[in-house]
Amino acid sequence: MIEKPSPPPDSVPAADAVPRVELPIYQGPLDLLLHLIKRAELDPRDVSASIITEQYLAHLDLMRELNLDVAGEYLVMAATLLLIKSFALLPHPDLKDDEEAEELKRDLIERLLEYQRYREAAAKLEARDLLGRDVFAASGEKPPDPASDAAPYTVSLFDLVQAMAAVLKRLGDRTPRTIALRDIPIADCIPRILAALVDGERVTFASLFADLDDRAVVIATFIALLELIRRGAVRATQEVRYGPIFLERGERFDAPATPVIAAAESGATPAQPEEPES
């Protein structure tokens, strides 16, 4: 085990001079009341027992002393408890007040019981075999749909040139110092590319150049690739922007190849016009 000097858990946020701590134990006044009732070995129906009210108020004081945010709900509950208590203590000649107090008490008990039921239901849920914790399912990932243009990005010429630059950079050190003028027909590179594209599968742009060391061959292959993409024989896609470029058979993969255009050849790479099919 490697011991990492990790900062202590953020139980006390350092932002304030006065420590403000969230009390995670009680989820509101009902939760606190149920806790106090259970601790006193009482029933929710005994919520009006004076010991519960006292402990509840003491807890609120404690929260305030600890600089905890005493949410409004806690105070409303405190008021309710005190009201019920005051009715029980003070003489009350008015019968109507008596009924009101009883109703207040009944409502509170009903709320506590109902909350207790859901709290129990939550515990039962938590005890089940959870997906991702106790049991797992297959990921069910769908393979990328080659027919849809929506998912993968179509690669622009700029992306291809950038990918090419990376290939050339890799070659940088390996290029021999002597410069020989050679003819590398682009048409000769085409079958190599086509052969690399198995039907229904994708290869990465980089893998196409992985075993090529000769800068001139690399450039010729790249121009051949551009030509094939232009013809629609090869499709270039990306799953994510700036991600790896994938090559696969295009819609017109099997279309009869037209002669390689002379204009493309008379450019950068030395090449001779030749029959495209060899």
Partner 1 sequence: MEEDQLKSVLESLLFAAGEPVSLTRLAGAIETVPRETIRAALAAMATAYLSENRGIFLEEVAGGYQLRTRKEYAGYVRRLLATKPPRLSRPLLETLAIIAYRPNITRPEIEELRGVDCGGVLETLGERGLIRISGRKEAPGRPALYETTPAFLELFGLKSLDDLPNLEEFQALNGTVGDVPAAPSATASPDPQQPSSDPEDAAGAEKERTSGTE
Q: Residues interacting with partner 1, by CB under 8 A? A: 27-31, 37-38, 42-45, 71, 73, 77, 111, 113-141
The distance of closest approach from Cβ of residue 233 to partner 1 in the complex, given in angstroms and rounded to an integer, is 31
CA distance 194 to 211: 16
The distance of closest approach from Cβ of residue 123 to partner 1 in the complex, given in angstroms and rounded to an integer, is 8
The distance of closest approach from Cβ of residue 104 to partner 1 in the complex, given in angstroms and rounded to an integer, is 15
Write out the two tokens for 210: 């992985």
Smaller CB separation from partner 1, 118 or 243: 118
CA distance 208 to 36: 72
Residue 42 · residue 52 · CB < 8 Å: yes
The distance of closest approach from Cβ of residue 140 to partner 1 in the complex, given in angstroms and rounded to an integer, is 2
Smaller CB separation from partner 1, 108 or 218: 108
Residue 17 · residue 62 · CB < 8 Å: no
CA distance 22 to 223: 64
Smaller CB separation from partner 1, 34 or 260: 34
Smaller CB separation from partner 1, 65 or 129: 129
Residue 66 · residue 21 · CB < 8 Å: yes
The torsion angles phi and psi of 238, rounded to 5 degrees, stand at -130, 145
CA distance 44 to 114: 10
Smaller CB separation from partner 1, 132 or 256: 132
Smaller CB separation from partner 1, 114 or 213: 114
CA distance 217 to 186: 9
Residue 249 · residue 235 · CB < 8 Å: yes
The distance of closest approach from Cβ of residue 75 to partner 1 in the complex, given in angstroms and rounded to an integer, is 12
The distance of closest approach from Cβ of residue 13 to partner 1 in the complex, given in angstroms and rounded to an integer, is 18
The candidate with the shortest Cα–Cα distance to 238, out of 158, 139, 165, is 158
Residue 253, SS3 per DSSP: coil
Residue 248, SS3 per DSSP: strand
The distance of closest approach from Cβ of residue 34 to partner 1 in the complex, given in angstroms and rounded to an integer, is 9
